[in-house]
C-alpha cells in the first residue's frame, strides 16, 4: 500500500516537471524526441547518423542516459554536436528532473531539435514523461519480431517505430510483416521505418520525416 503511494507521488512530481519542460520546449520552438529501446538496438547509432545528416541544416543537441560511463556521449560528440551525458547510477530510466537539470548545458535559444537517448530498457522508461513531443521506439532484427506483443506499453505510447539492423534479415528468422502487424495491433497509428545504421538503408525516409516534423514543431523555416 505504502509502495503504491510513494510511486504515485513520484510519478505526479515527475509529471509536473515534464509539463514545465514541455512548456519551455514549446516556447523556444524545440522539437524533442525521447528514444527508447532495449540495450544494443541502435539508439546511439541512429543518433550519430541523424545528427551527422542534420549538420548545417538544423541546430540539434543530444542528451544521452546510461547506467554507467560516458561512452555514448563520446561517440556522439565526434559529430560536432552538443551532447550531455546523464549517468543514472542504478536507475533504469531517465526522469523529467534529470532532463531539466541538463538543459543549462545547451544554448537553448538556438536549438531546433533535442534528441534524448533513454536508458536501454523496454519497460521502465515508458512510465516517465520527460516533456518530449514524441517517443520513438527502436527494435532491432536480432531481438525477434514478437517484441511489440511482449512489451506492448512501449509500442502503444510511441509515435514512431524504427526497425533497425535490416542488414541482418538474411541471417535471422525475423519476419518483417509479422513485426509490423504486431506493432499495429498494439498501436494502429504508429509510423514505421525500416533502417540499417550500418549500410544506411532506409535512413533517408527517416531523415525526411524528422525534418518535416521539426520544421512544423519549431517553425525552423522562419528562424
Ligand atoms: N548489423 C548492424 N549493426 C548495428 C546497426 N545499428 C547498430 N549496430 C551495432 O549494434 C551495436 C549496438 O548499437 P548502439 O548504437 O550502441 O545501441 P544502443 O545500445 O541502443 O545505443 C553496435 O555494435 C552497433 O555498431 C545496424 O543497423 N546493423
Ligand atoms: Mg547507446
The verdict on pTM exceeding 0.85 is: yes
Rounded to 5°, the CA angle 191-21-111 comes to 75
Structurally, how many domains does the chain consist of?
1
User: Does 196 sit in the ligand 1 pocket, CB within 6 Å?
Assistant: yes
In a domain, 182, yes or no: yes
Q: Is 113 helix (H, G, I), strand (E, B) or coil?
A: strand
The whole domain housing 65 covers 2-218
Q: Which of 79, 197, 206 to mutate to test the pocket of ligand 1 (most atoms within 8 A of CB)?
A: 197
Spell out the per-residue pLDDT of the chain, length 223, in tens: 666 677 777 789 999 999 999 999 999 999 999 999 999 999 999 999 999 999 999 999 999 998 888 999 999 999 999 999 999 988 999 999 999 999 999 999 999 999 999 999 999 999 999 999 999 999 999 999 999 999 999 999 999 999 999 999 999 999 999 999 999 999 999 999 999 999 999 999 999 999 999 998 876 544 4
CATH (domain of 183): 3.40.50.300
- In sequence order, the 6+-apart residues with CB closer than 8 A to the CB of 57 are 211
Give the ligand whose atoms come closest to the C-alpha of residue 72.
Answer: 2
Phi, psi of 222 (to 5 degrees): -90, -10
Determine the pLDDT at residue 8: 76
Q: State the first-to-last Cα distance of the chain, in angstroms, to the nearest integer.
A: 51
User: Does 165 sit in the ligand 1 pocket, CB within 6 Å?
Assistant: yes
In a domain, 223, yes or no: no
Q: Distance, CA 212 to ligand 2 centroid (Å)?
A: 25
Q: Where are the beta strands (DSSP E) in 37-120?
A: 60-66, 82-87, 113-117
Nearest CA to ligand 1 atom 26: 165
Amino acid at each position: 500500500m505504502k509502495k503504491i503511494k510513494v510511486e504515485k507521488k513520484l510519478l505526479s512530481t515527475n509529471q509536473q516537471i515534464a509539463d514545465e519542460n514541455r512548456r519551455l520546449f514549446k516556447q523556444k520552438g524545440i522539437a524533442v524526441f525521447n528514444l527508447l529501446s532495449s540495450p544494443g538496438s541502435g539508439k546511439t547509432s541512429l543518433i550519430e547518423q541523424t545528427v551527422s545528416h542534420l549538420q548545417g541544416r538544423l541546430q540539434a543537441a543530444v542528451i544521452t542516459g546510461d547506467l554507467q560511463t560516458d561512452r555514448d556521449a563520446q561517440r556522439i560528440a565526434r559529430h560536432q554536436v552538443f551532447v550531455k551525458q546523464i549517468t543514472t547510477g542504478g536507475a533504469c530510466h531517465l526522469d523529467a528532473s534529470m532532463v531539466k537539470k541538463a538543459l543549462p548545458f545547451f544554448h537553448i535559444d538556438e536549438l531546433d531539435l533535442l534528441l534524448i537517448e533513454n536508458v536501454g530498457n523496454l519497460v521502465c522508461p515508458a512510465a516517465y514523461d520527460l516533456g518530449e513531443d514524441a517517443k520513438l521506439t527502436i527494435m532491432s532484427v536480432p531481438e525477434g519480431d514478437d517484441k511489440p506483443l511482449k512489451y506492448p506499453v512501449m509500442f502503444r505510447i510511441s509515435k514512431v517505430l524504427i526497425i533497425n539492423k535490416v542488414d541482418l534479415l538474411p541471417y535471422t528468422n525475423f519476419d518483417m510483416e509479422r513485426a509490423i502487424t504486431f506493432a499495429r495491433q498494439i498501436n494502429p497509428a504508429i509510423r514505421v521505418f525500416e533502417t540499417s545504421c550500418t549500410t544506411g538503408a532506409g535512413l533517408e525516409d527517416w531523415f525526411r520525416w524528422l525534418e518535416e516534423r521539426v520544421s512544423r514543431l519549431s517553425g525552423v523555416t522562419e528562424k
